[in-house]
């Protein structure tokens, strides 16, 4: 089977060195293993994603010397795929409608914390687990609120999902010689997470799982910041009868203070490095991708190549 790799950025800002590392690693592995390299634009967040950022992503990746198959899959063009998938999960009774706002959730959590004197559990991203307010709404009430047009999301009924697909696991980290270890997934850490948002007929988790399957991705190579999300992704793959790719969660490129690079923290973007006169070969070398290198992790050259 031909290995299929992908780089899947969201066009909500400019790319930085961390993105460059991930894209280069995927391309390098695809080349080394005689595989395919795909680019996917993850633009389901219509409020934050911009065509100008997508154009900039293409420009930055081309400047780095990357090439990929066309046409590029753009998630905003495939909402019907995600709607269909969500429908399958609803039909199995694994999703329930939720009318809570973020504030409703925060208030409910604060009340529970005050009542118990203990902190309410958080998900791997640090958000409070959903306290279950809408989980047992009578279906007649939920249906009439939906019929009256009340905004709602759809949440995964986590206990029901785990009953349907117990013991999800995946294989993480791989090298050409095939070493990988089996990781038992803990999707319950995410609680009843949102799979269909109020503002769009999908979510990151649902669309990434669908697209990896639709595009035949065999190897998901992405940063350690997404490692916890994989636990949920493998559960969804099981529920939807989709294959589970191999995973590799690579170290993150850090800034000189040891923090993760991020658009919101104002980390220097690739185009700013370019405008400072740094060429693509220097960036590739800095990240460990000179012509003869064989890196699977960010190297520790210079200040910015540290990893954790």
Q: Which residues bind ligand GLU (CB under 6 A)?
A: 8-10, 42, 208, 222, 226
Quick one: which of 209, 204, 201 has its CA closest to 235?
A: 209
The residues, any chain, with a CB within 8 Å of residue 62's CB and separated by 6 or more, are none
Strand 4-7 versus strand 36-41 pairing type: parallel
**Least CB distance to ligand GLU at residue 159 (A):** 26
**Least CB distance to ligand GLU at residue 41 (A):** 9
**Least CB distance to ligand GLU at residue 227 (A):** 11
Phi-psi region of 216 (alpha: psi -120 to 50; beta: other; left: phi over 0): left
Nearer to ligand GLU, 134 or 232 (CB): 232
What percentage of the chain's residues is helix, strand, coil (to nearest 5)? 40, 15, 45
**Least CB distance to ligand GLU at residue 84 (A):** 21
Residue 181: beta bridge partners?
172
Nearer to ligand GLU, 142 or 226 (CB): 226
**Least CB distance to ligand GLU at residue 3 (A):** 16
Q: Confirm if 79 and 203 have CB atoms less than 8 A apart.
A: no
**Least CB distance to ligand GLU at residue 269 (A):** 14
How far is 23 from 7, CA to CA, in rounded Å? 6
Nearer to ligand GLU, 8 or 98 (CB): 8
Strand 219-223 versus strand 194-196 pairing type: unpaired
Nearer to ligand GLU, 40 or 152 (CB): 40
**Least CB distance to ligand GLU at residue 240 (A):** 16
Nearer to ligand GLU, 42 or 255 (CB): 42
Nearer to ligand GLU, 222 or 284 (CB): 222
Place of tokens 């249906």: 143
How far is 41 from 37, CA to CA, in rounded Å? 13
User: What Å distances lie between residue 200 and 78, 144, 154, 209, CA to CA?
Assistant: 12, 21, 11, 16
Virtual CA dihedral for 104, 105, 110, 111, nearest 10 degrees?
70
**Least CB distance to ligand GLU at residue 164 (A):** 24
The residues, any chain, with a CB within 8 Å of residue 166's CB and separated by 6 or more, are none
Nearer to ligand GLU, 222 or 286 (CB): 222
How far is 161 from 240, CA to CA, in rounded Å? 11
Nearer to ligand GLU, 96 or 170 (CB): 170
């Amino acid at each position: 089977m031909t290995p299929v790799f992908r780089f899947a950025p969201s066009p909500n800002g400019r790319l930085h060195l961390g993105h460059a590392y991930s894209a280069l690693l995927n391309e390098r592995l695809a080349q080394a293993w005689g595989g395919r390299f795909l680019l996917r634009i993850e633009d389901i967040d219509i409020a934050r994603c911009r065509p100008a950022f997508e154009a900039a992503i293409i420009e930055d990746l081309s400047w780095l010397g990357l090439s990929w198959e066309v046409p590029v899959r753009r998630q905003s063009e495939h909402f019907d795929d995600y709607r269909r998938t969500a429908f399958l999960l609803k039909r199995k009774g694994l999703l329930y409608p939720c009318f809570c706002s973020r504030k409703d959730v925060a208030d409910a959590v604060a009340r529970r914390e005050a009542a118990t004197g203990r902190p309410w559990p958080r998900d791997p991203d640090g958000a409070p687990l959903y306290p279950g307010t809408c989980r047992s709404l009578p279906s007649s009430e939920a249906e009439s609120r939906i019929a009256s047009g009340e905004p709602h999301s759809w949440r995964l009924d986590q206990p029901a999902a785990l009953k349907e697909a117990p013991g999800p696991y995946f294989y993480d980290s791989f090298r050409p010689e095939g070493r990988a270890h089996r990781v038992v997934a803990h999707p319950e850490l995410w609680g009843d997470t949102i799979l269909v948002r109020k503002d769009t007929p999908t979510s990151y988790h649902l669309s990434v799982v669908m697209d990896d399957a639709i595009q035949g991705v065999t190897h998901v190579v992405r940063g350690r910041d997404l490692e916890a999300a994989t636990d949920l992704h493998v559960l969804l793959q099981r529920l939807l009868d989709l294959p589970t790719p191999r995973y590799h969660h690579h170290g993150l490129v850090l800034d000189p203070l040891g923090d993760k690079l991020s658009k919101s923290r104002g980390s220097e973007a690739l185009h700013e490095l370019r405008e400072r006169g740094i060429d693509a070969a220097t960036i590739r070398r800095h990240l460990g991708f000179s012509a003869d290198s064989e890196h699977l992790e960010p190297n520790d050259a210079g200040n910015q190549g540290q990893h954790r």
